[in-house]
Every structure is written in structure tokens, then in C-alpha cells.
Structure 1
């Protein structure tokens, strides 16, 4: 009775209670009739209970019979299924499989108690329990989707049913559609002006004719069509299938053009953008053009391919082409003056954990605002050890006694910023790296000045962008802009020293990433009163910092014979600064071409990378979600120290293998 969900006493209990009450009433008036009524009521209760018990038992027998029939139907259905089935235990070892599964595997041996991963490498235990609906597998030139069903017996035991659907036809059709789809390629001679100016008149036509020949031969090799629509721009259409071949060859046209020697005094470099899988060829070409701009923003001499929502990069392992012309700086200066004059309050911000270049360029733009008579603020969350010396020097030596009021917190900046305000972003171009991201949404007047190679994350809504990877530092770019804003410019000595300090730290004392314009900027700052001795004093460290740097260098590991890896386990405020300085120090060791120092930064691991130019620390750390410059880059990982070291070593190994394979393919 208790087992039945369909026949219960509650269904008729009211009726029986009514009969009993009626019997009691009859007894009151007539004892004989009342006793008879009571006997009849008891009989009815007994009879109904027996009837309900019988029906309940009959129903349970019916359900059990249906269950047995269903089990038999299920077993027969499973054995006769037209697609492969396999049952695994909780450890992903095979317990049972059907005939179709055996036909797919194509062997007579048994697979009982064998891990499924030993047969299909794509089906891993972690993947099965990750919550995905199915796993795609390629086996014997066929493609399958293995759908996952997990049945938990109890908290410690479970069975896993996998059934495979052959989608080889669908896969091949989809691949054919992709292979035959059109891809737009934009090829740009990124140092055209420099080549033109530095090549003698009598050989100049031959140089550019040879570039045309190499590009046209390259396009014809991959069955494409090209059009030259400007002196330095080419538009190319090829199939996606041929693009894959070009990607396998690492876009070796970059090397072919760079190696041309037809009387040109400097190497010719290309920036290539590739757009794929857009709604139409016009949209595809727009994506290709945008990718070319990214390649130029990363320093040129490389290719950027957009596939889906991510970018792939080729080349970019050499120093960016140095631009001797300052025409762009003049144009930017004129544009900046107009924006500053027409906008409201000016908010200047560098990147989080600011360094000398970041704060130096911020102080420089503050002077630019003073030149046009506008009120400005420097957004600074905290004074880090890296900028403490220059910050204190500015507070002490700046002519305006109210200089401290120029430095405001991000929260205060958010309260003051309006749509008409001007936000100047310096020494970075990633939104997430900004001192105050919210300002980028509050203002419609965003100015971006940076010298780092452009990464995938980028501040897109800037109305004026000055991104020059060839420059030594953002302080160099800001110095040029300031002195093109007006014929007669005079800036305070302490500001000149801050800008010179920014250039000094990013060039490693004028050793790396320097050009004629770097020294011209430095000479301008010297004429403004910058004292090299006082600049040197800004980089002095206390005794503890010097000892910690020494410990990092002394305990560093030499990886792959030419890369030094150090660890700073001290969790202190100056850890990032010490890591960067220790990475610089390790480059002084014989045979070391690049260095990395890992340190604790809150609950993350910060990595500072430095190189002498032969190895791109930017490309290595981009594999770990970071970025920066060819010779200076950084990233942060949510990982243990040992895990971060392993990830770094894997990224280094991948980079060196890619570099070696690319070198071999070009021989």
C-alpha cells in the first residue's frame, strides 16, 4: 500500500469517516440498526482495503513487466546502434564497446581496461569531465564527434557512455568552403619614404621595380591576384587554402624583400595585413587594412593575420625600422595643440605601476598643457618605488608651489572628468593597463602616445594616436611634440630631467633602441637645463635593493645556453622595480642574449623580460598574455612560482623552435 502512488487511503478516508459517523447516529436512535450499519461499514472498509491492495500489486507487476521489456528493448537497441558506442569507468578505462566501435578501431585485439586516450589522443579525462557536450576526433582519415554522457552511481563511482557520430562528409564540405573562400591581403612597404630618400636617383627605379617583381612572383606562386593602388601599397586576393600554405612558410616574402640589394642603402621591409572570413570582400579588405595598421604599430617588418576573433603574428623579430624624418611629430604636435585648446580639463595618465618613462612623459604633457594655457591633472594611483625619487624632486623643485595638487587619484579624476575633457594616455596602449580605465569611457577626446609595439588589446577610440615603435621611449616622443608646439618653448629644469630620465631608463643609458632623434631629444633637454648628474641620482637605490638585485643575479639559471632566468621571492613594494633592474643586470653576463626575472606581485607572478635585440622578449611574453617591446617586455600570471617558471620556459622553447624553423626554411 505504501509503495503505490496511485491508490491511497486518503482518497476514500472521508467517505469511511462519514459512514462511521452515520452508524453512530443510527445507534443513538435504534441500537439494532446501528449495529448492522456499523458491521456493514467495517466490511466495506475491509473490502476496499483488499481491493486497493490487489490493484496496487497488479499495477506494480505491470510496471515491473514494462521495465523488463524496456530493459530488453534498450539492450537490443544499444547492440544494434548504427554508430560506435563505448562505456568507460570513472577512470576513463573501457568497460564495454559495441561492434561498430570495433569496426572504427579496425583491429581484433580487445580494448577492455584500456584508457580511451590510448586509442583517441583527443579524448582526455580532463576533457570528458570539463562539461563539454562532445569531443572532436580525427582517426584513420575520418572525423568523429564523441558525445559524452556521465552516469553517477554514487559520489565515488560513475560510468561514462560515449557515442560517436561520423561527420567526415560535413567536415570535408566545410573545409572545401573555407579553402575556396577569398582572403584579402594588404601589403605595405613600411619604410618607403626612407628608401626613396636614401637611394640614389639612378638606381631608385630599379629598386622599386625589383620589389614589384618579388611581390608579383610571390602572388602568382600562390595563384592570387594583385593590384598596386599606391606607390607603397598592394592589394592581393588569394584563396584561404593558399593562405594556409603561406602561413606554413611563415610569410617568407618578408625575408625575400628585406634581402634585396639593388643599390638601396637600407633594407626594405614590408607590413602585411590579412583579413579572412568576413561577410563580403569589402569587409575582408577593411580587416586586412586594419591588420596592416597593427603590423605598422608593432614596428613593421611583419604580418598580422586575423582569423576569427584572434590575431596571429609572423616576423617582427628584428628591430623596428628607424624613422629619421620628424614630419609626423610636427603633425602630431599641431593636432595636439588643437585638441588641448578646444577641450576641457586635461587628464594625463600612464600605466599601472608607473616607471620613469611613464611619469616623465606625463610631466612633459603637463607642460604641453601649460603652453596652451589649459588646466591639467596627472592621474596617479600611488607613488611606486620606481618613481619616488623623481616625484619628490618635482614636488621640491617645480616653480609652482601648488604642484602637488596636479597629482590626483583615479577616484577624484572620475568625479572631475566630463565628456569634453581631454584624456592623454601615455607609455601604453592597453585599456587594462591604464591607471584609470573609466576615464576612457567618460571622455570623447582620447589622445594616445606610446612607443611599444602594438598588441591585440588596443584603445580603439582615440581621436589622435602617435604610436611609434621605432622610438626609444615615450619621453622622446613627448619631447619632440613639446618643442614642435611652439617656436619658443621653455620648460622647468626638473621637467627636462624627468624626460631625460625616461629616455635614459628605456635606452639602458643610451645603449639600446637609440637613433639620431633620440640624441636630438636628449640635446634639447640638456639645453633646457637637464643635469646628467642629477638624472643619475634619480636611479640610486638603497642598500637592501642593491643586495636583492645581487641575489637574483647570483642565483639565476642559464636556460638554453643564452637566456638567464632569475627569481625574486621577496614580497615587497619594490619587487617589480628590482625585477626589472635585475633583468637589466643579467644582460651584462657573457653569452646572455635575453633575461627574465619573476617576482611576486600581490597574488600574481610578474615577469620582466629584457634582451639585447637578437631575441624578442615581446614575442615570448605575448605567448603568456603580455607585451611590450623587442628588448623590454612584461606580463603577469595567476600561477605558482614553479608553474610560472615552467610556462615561461615553454614559451621560450616555442619561440626558439619557431625562430630556428623559420631560419631553416629561408636557407
Structure 2
């Protein structure tokens, strides 16, 4: 605006000169007023012409400046492409705007650039080159040119509307599976099946129709869904309330039925969506059912629900089939390598020993990878105690030794985990071309790549329970010793917190089988006894405990204390004995650089969901997370936020449109 200020100053000076000239004429006796007026009119006319010339010249100069910045061709292209331009000074005041803005009645000259769109501030304060905002109900995209006081403005209202409509209409495919329905259908009477159809199956169809979802029955317990992104966002906002409805109605008619659901989004290839939705449904079921698995192409899998514990879905026929399949693969393989997870516990080692004994009974050589990744302290004491016996029957090696020994036709069996990052031999997993997975944890998004066989039963109390059944169905005499049976029994004992959690009739059948193999329960209990130092440390853990929300208890141990993982687990289990407590969490430092959380639940609160929200994992009733370069206070704050979010979501129950 400097040129306008100059014009005003010059006009004022000329007017002053005219007044002075008029006074002089009168004072000198040259009082011909008509003559004086003529002179003034001539001067004024000259002044007007000069001002018009100055303004035009200034515009041309500024146009020349814009052309110099952009280049004449680029300037013409921007005008042809309906791109607006504005310039501003060092005080961020608009000095000039192009016709693009004037035609839209956007008067900005003399105002701050932020008077147009507030988001423009981000162009000058951050690293962004482009912002989007709304002015007079239209959407504009504003870009800044480096090293020049110029902003480019594009009206993207129509594009924005098209994009929004496209996103709303994007295809989403889904699947619904009625967990346990096929088993109930095979054994229940017609009255029960009629109640299921009226109270569970028909409401699923009605729910879909109420939300304008296309639903088709694939078989008696499975439905295929077709919907768009707008409908999906609506049922997401409703927290997939059909899950809660079916769970409650099933309880009312006394049947054990829940829903597993999956939704695949964000891909234009129908075949790809079909593959995604089937894989997601398998994920939801392998994690115990009663939940929804959602994946947008290129993004991670997200889970919703999971509010009930997994129920046993494996039959004796399935166990027998799995046992036979494992035998056939073992017989076709060379040497057998068995890998556990980091910080091996009783369940992991018991499963490893069982697998080693089983494959040796087929005449195959087995190697247990246990000399890398760490071993839990109580297990290490037991291994030392039984060292002479176990060393005669099994070969224990490190990951490096296994890498040197493994050949192309060899087989790797991973037990008690399925996430490669949790392995005590991750390089071995990468090298092996033939892998079998045997696990009891709910399946997560990270899984061993291309296994030739997966036996994952999240309803089982432990991997030792699964191995007890598998070995019992192997042809010929079992090769499990009393020591191995005792360690397997300890695996079940620890994972069920002495049969207080995750215990079904199959668990006791497995223990009965272990008893036949010579388990010594008294010796097993003595191996779990705490030392005085451990007892004292457990008291320290409990000292820091605090109640949260009247049914949760959290112990944030001082950052100066270093705890073992087993001690954290024992502390979490102990806190569950407090009246009305449904879940417990112990937060503590496990070494100089790592802090961790051990979480336990009685089966009402899903600690797996809470830990997964913090990039951890585990099971419905037992989960954990580990972090690096954090303090326990920082991890505690993060835990409190995760608990708050979980509790807020639990309080949201949507049933109004299903009643």
C-alpha cells in the first residue's frame, strides 16, 4: 500500500500549493476570481490524469513483478486453469489479488492473509506447503511459493464433494459367523434350534436390513455382507452393537453362541477384498470369537469387541486329524528343530519337551532351541534340577548352532507363540522353509509366514494341554517320562493360576493324561515355591498397588526397583485375589533399558485388548507389553490412558434399535 500513501501525500501537497497560489493572487490585487478558478481546474485535471497514470503504471509494474516471479507462460496457464493469486508484504498484508478472487467477491487487499482462511497460518508456521479451508461455504486449497510473497488459490469445492461421495460409496465387504452354531445344531433338539433362529439368526438379518446392508446366507452359520463406507462408519460408531445383542440373547436362551465378524475395505479389486475378508474372519475366530476384525488395504488389522472368553471348539476328531497330519509332515522331513518364545516359561518348555519326545518316537532327530532368548528363573531352577535326566533324552542348542545345522528339508516347529518377533530364534524362522505352529494364544496380526500347518486353539488353557491330547492320539506307545510330564503339568498349573482361570473339562482331562505318564504334583508344587527374597520382592510389588474404577488394581513399582518377569506375573496373580478386583496390572523395570507390564484378568476384562492398544499382546486373561527407553511413571500414564479408553468403550452399549 506504499504507492497509495505516496499518491495521497502528493495530492495533499498540490492542494496546498493551489490554496497558497490563490491567496497570493488576492494579496497582489490580481483578484480575477474566474482566472484563478480556470488555473485551479487545469491543475486539478492535470493532477487527475497524473494519478490515473500513476495507478495504471503501478498496476503494470506489479503485473510485471508477478510475471517475473511466475513467468508469463505460467501466469497465463494459472489464469486459464482458474488458479487465483495473491501477493502480500512483509507484514503479511495482501497487496494484490487476481481476478479469480475478485470474481468471487473476495476482497482481501489491505487485510491480513489469514482473513481469507485461518489455516493459512500453517503455511508460515510449519513445514506444510498446502492447506485446505472453507470461505463463504466453498472449499479452497492454498499453496505457498518458496522465496516469494505469493499464494496460489484453487477452488476445490466440486472435487471435495466428489471425493466425499466416492469415499461414502466405496465398497466394503463383510462376513458374519455364528460361533459354535454348527456344534449346537448337531446335538440340540428342534425346540432349541427354533429359539436360536427366532432370537439370534433373524435379528442378524433384521440388523443388516435396518442398516441397508445386502446380506446373503452362505451356510447355516455364516452370512456374506455388502455395504458402502458410509454404512460401515455408522455401524462402527454404534460399536457393532449386534455383538452385544447376540451375546445377551444367547445367554437368555441358554446357548453358547457369539458372533465373529470381519470387514475388508479400501481396495478396488473385488477378489482382493474377498481374500481379505476371509482371512480376517479366520483371525477373529482364532482370537476366540465374539469380536470384529477390520482391515483397510495397506493398514493394520483393528479389532473390536472380544468381551467374552473363548470357548472350546476343538473336537476329538480334529485332534486326531491334527495328530496324524503332524506325524506325516514329520516323517517327510529331515531333522526337527523346536523353538520357543523369549524368556521361556514352563508351558513353553513343557511343550518343547513333549514335541521332542513325540518326534523321536518316529525315529527323527530333534533339537530344542533353548540356549538363546532367555529362560524364566523358576524354569531355570527346574532345568538345573532335572539336568541329568533331560540331557540324556534331549538335545538343547542355541539359535546360532541351529542355523548351522538346518538344511532345506528340515522342519521347524514353533510352540506357545506365533509372532516371529517373540521367538527366541527369529533368524531360524526366516531361514526355515517348512514351519508348523502349535499355540493357544489368540491370533494377532503378526504371524509366521506361510506355515505348512497351524494348530492354534485359543480356547485351550495352555500349549501343554494341546500337546497332551496330540500325543495321546499318536499311534504306538507314548514316550513321555515322569520328569517331562511334571514340567508339562507345571505349564498348565502356571498358565491357569492353579486352575483358577481358563480351565475347562479338557484341561482336567489333560492333567489326568499327565498323571498316567507319572506326574508328581507334590514335586511340581515345590518347584514353584518362592524364596524369601522373592516373597519380599512380591510384598514390594503389592505395596505400590492402587485401585482404579473399583474393579481394577494397578501397581506402578518405583523406577529404581528391578523386577523379574515371573515376579511381575506372581504379583499380578496375587492382586487378583482381592475382593471385587476383575483385572490387575503390574508396571515395573525389568532391566536398565526396558520397562514392562504384566496384566491378569478373571475373565470379565479383556486384558489382551488393553495391552494390544499399547503395542503388546497376549491372551484374554493374561497379557503383557514391553517398552524401551521409558520410565515406569511414563508407562503407567500410558496404561491409565488405555484403561480409561477401554472403560469408556465398555460403558457404551447400543441396544435401542435391536430391542
| TM-score strictly above 0.5 | yes
Render the CA deviation track for 1:194-252: whole Å, top value 9, x for unaligned.
32245224432442355432222122112222222222221121222211111111112
Does residue 451 in structure 1 map to residue 440 in structure 2? Answer: yes
Corresponding residue of 2:641: 650
Offset at residue 424 of structure 1 (A): 0.8
Render the CA deviation track for 1:54-112: whole Å, top value 9, x for unaligned.
xxxxxxxxxxxx9997499669x9xx9966989999xxxx96568989999x999x998
Offset at residue 516 of structure 1 (A): 0.5
1:188 and 1:267 map into 2 onto residues whose CA distance is 13
Offset at residue 311 of structure 1 (A): 1.7
Offset at residue 324 of structure 1 (A): 6.5
2:150 and 2:516 map into 1 onto residues whose CA distance is 78
Does residue 175 in structure 1 map to residue 164 in structure 2? Answer: yes
Q: Helix, strand or coil: the match of 1:438? A: helix
Equivalent residues in 2 for 1:508-587, closer than 5 Å: 508-569=497-558, 575-587=564-576
Whether the 8 Å contact between 1:557 and 1:564 is mirrored in structure 2 is: yes
1:540 and 1:354 map into 2 onto residues whose CA distance is 18
* Structure-2 change in CA distance of 1:561 and 1:663 (3 Å): farther
Corresponding residue of 1:189: 178
Equivalent residues in 2 for 1:60-459, closer than 5 Å: 70=65, 128-129=126-127, 133-134=129-130, 147=143, 166-197=155-186, 199-208=188-197, 210-260=199-249, 265-308=254-297, 309-323=299-313, 325-380=315-370, 381=372, 382-398=374-390, 401=392, 403=394, 406-459=395-448
1:265 and 1:544 map into 2 onto residues whose CA distance is 48
* Structure-2 change in CA distance of 1:224 and 1:397 (3 Å): same
Displaced runs of 4 or more, over 4 A:
66-75, 80-89, 94-104, 110-117, 119-126, 132-151, 159-166, 261-264, 569-574, 663-667
2:138 and 2:532 map into 1 onto residues whose CA distance is 66
Normalising by structure 2, what TM-score?
A: 0.78
Render the CA deviation track for 1:451-486: whole Å, top value 9, x for unaligned.
111111122311111111111111111111111112
Deviates further, 255-264 or 651-660: 255-264
Corresponding residue of 1:26: none
Whether the 8 Å contact between 2:462 and 2:491 is mirrored in structure 1 is: yes
1:232 and 1:271 map into 2 onto residues whose CA distance is 11
- Structure 1, gaps ≥5 residues long: 1-65, 152-158
Corresponding residue of 1:625: 615
Whether the 8 Å contact between 2:265 and 2:296 is mirrored in structure 1 is: yes
* Structure-2 change in CA distance of 1:144 and 1:468 (3 Å): farther
Whether the 8 Å contact between 2:241 and 2:655 is mirrored in structure 1 is: no
1:631 and 1:107 map into 2 onto residues whose CA distance is 64
1:408 and 1:253 map into 2 onto residues whose CA distance is 50
1:122 and 1:548 map into 2 onto residues whose CA distance is 55
Does residue 594 in structure 1 map to residue 586 in structure 2? Answer: no
1:354 and 1:282 map into 2 onto residues whose CA distance is 41
Corresponding residue of 1:42: none
Offset at residue 518 of structure 1 (A): 0.6
Offset at residue 639 of structure 1 (A): 4.6
1:98 and 1:604 map into 2 onto residues whose CA distance is 57
Offset at residue 392 of structure 1 (A): 1.6
Corresponding residue of 2:601: 611
* Structure-2 change in CA distance of 1:164 and 1:411 (3 Å): farther
Q: Helix, strand or coil: the match of 1:510? A: coil
Whether the 8 Å contact between 1:225 and 1:237 is mirrored in structure 2 is: yes
1:383 and 1:599 map into 2 onto residues whose CA distance is 19
Offset at residue 420 of structure 1 (A): 1.1
1:315 and 1:384 map into 2 onto residues whose CA distance is 32
1:160 and 1:351 map into 2 onto residues whose CA distance is 60
Offset at residue 632 of structure 1 (A): 0.7
Q: Helix, strand or coil: the match of 1:333? A: helix
* Structure-2 change in CA distance of 1:187 and 1:533 (3 Å): same
2:488 and 2:115 map into 1 onto residues whose CA distance is 63
Does residue 474 in structure 1 map to residue 474 in structure 2? Answer: no
Offset at residue 602 of structure 1 (A): 4.7
2:88 and 2:574 map into 1 onto residues whose CA distance is 58
1:450 and 1:315 map into 2 onto residues whose CA distance is 22
* Structure-2 change in CA distance of 1:562 and 1:438 (3 Å): same
Whether the 8 Å contact between 1:568 and 1:579 is mirrored in structure 2 is: no
* Structure-2 change in CA distance of 1:316 and 1:263 (3 Å): closer
Whether the 8 Å contact between 1:575 and 1:599 is mirrored in structure 2 is: no
1:656 and 1:475 map into 2 onto residues whose CA distance is 33
Whether the 8 Å contact between 1:203 and 1:263 is mirrored in structure 2 is: no
* Structure-2 change in CA distance of 1:447 and 1:235 (3 Å): same
Deviates further, 550-559 or 613-622: 550-559
Query: How many residues of Structure 1 are paired with residues of Structure 2 in the alignment?
Result: 581
Render the CA deviation track for 1:255-313: whole Å, top value 9, x for unaligned.
22223359953232111111123333232122111110000111011111111222221
Offset at residue 401 of structure 1 (A): 2.5
Offset at residue 410 of structure 1 (A): 0.8
Render the CA deviation track for 1:332-362: whole Å, top value 9, x for unaligned.
1111111111111111111112222111211
- Structure 2, gaps ≥5 residues long: 1-60
1:317 and 1:361 map into 2 onto residues whose CA distance is 28
Offset at residue 617 of structure 1 (A): 1.0
1:446 and 1:638 map into 2 onto residues whose CA distance is 30
* Structure-2 change in CA distance of 1:346 and 1:241 (3 Å): same
Offset at residue 402 of structure 1 (A): 6.0
Offset at residue 146 of structure 1 (A): 5.7
Q: Helix, strand or coil: the match of 1:477? A: helix
2:548 and 2:244 map into 1 onto residues whose CA distance is 28
Q: Helix, strand or coil: the match of 1:401? A: helix
